[in-house]
Amino acid sequence: MELYMSANSPYARKVRVVTYELGLHEKVTMTETNPRDPSTGFRDVNPLGKIPALVTDSGDVLYDSPVICEYLNDVEGDGHLLSKETRERWRTCTLVALVDGVLDAGMAVRLEKMRPEHARSIAWIDKQIATASRGMDTLEKRVTEWADEVNLGTIGMACAIAWLQFRHSDHDWLSTRPQLRTWYESFNQRDSLQITMPDQTR
């Protein structure tokens, strides 16, 4: 299999962590890709021009990260990262959606700040930061529900927290959320997360 990714993409990192947790990392070729560069040909792989995208051994192309993670878990792996029990499965899928919403808001801020200063919307930035903060507040309130679990949702939580601290270090994401901070500091010690740590120099 081939995964089109960027080392500092939190969405791609989720997939990379999943490959390690499922013992599939040696079966997946990691292809570093700049989705903004049309000359790479990546848009022929994913017409949306977004990473990650996975090409399976049968030649199918899967995107985006929730779909890829579920495929790796259910088809290529042993399935232990997403419960087969209906209520637990949808609870985890909802956590995945919450975490992706936090990331989407944070990514919107990053993209806005890449615009020329005169063209930036402070109101838009504030709105997206508020959205991410509400999501983080919800995680703080509910983190004990997942404290002992390793699943697609908790993997996403750890990747989202790391990325927010990396790309939006001007905001304090954890000191006012002590339960989430304690959980993250423990969960972040997993080998899969240490191996896939973002490059702080990029």
Look at the pTM and tell me if it is higher than 0.85.
Answer: yes
Mean pLDDT, the chain, rounded, equals 96
| Burial annotation 87-118 (CB, 10 A radius, 16+ → b, else e) | eeeeebbebbebbbbbbebbbbbeeeeeeeee
Amino acid letter at 160? A
SS3 of 119-166: HCCHHHHHHHHHHHHHHHHHHHHHHHHCCCCCCHHHHHHHHHHHHHHH
Residue ranges in the chain whose pLDDT is less than 50: none
* Non-local CB neighbours of 192 within 8 Å, separated by 6+ positions: 16, 17, 20, 21, 155
Contacts of 178 (CB under 8 A, 6+ apart): 140
Looking at domain 2-76, what is its CATH homologous superfamily?
Glutaredoxin (3.40.30.10)
- The answer to whether residues 34 and 46 touch, using CB atoms and an 8 Å cutoff, is no
Place of tokens 């890829």: 68
Sequence ranges of the domains in the chain = 2-76, 86-190
| Contact predicate 103/167, CB 8 Å | no
**Fold exhibited by the domain 86-190:** Glutathione S-transferase Yfyf (Class Pi); Chain A, domain 2 (1.20.1050)
- Secondary structure class of 114 (helix, strand, coil): coil
Residue range 20-61, pLDDT digits in tens:
999 999 999 999 999 989 899 999 999 999 999 999 999 999
Residue with tokens 């959606």: 97
Contacts of 83 by beta carbon, 8 Å cutoff, 6+ apart: 89, 92, 151
- Give the integer Cα–Cα distance in Å for 123 and 59: 44
- Give the list of residues 6+ apart from residue 4 with CB closer than 8 angstroms, or none: 31, 33, 42, 45, 46, 51, 52, 53, 54, 55
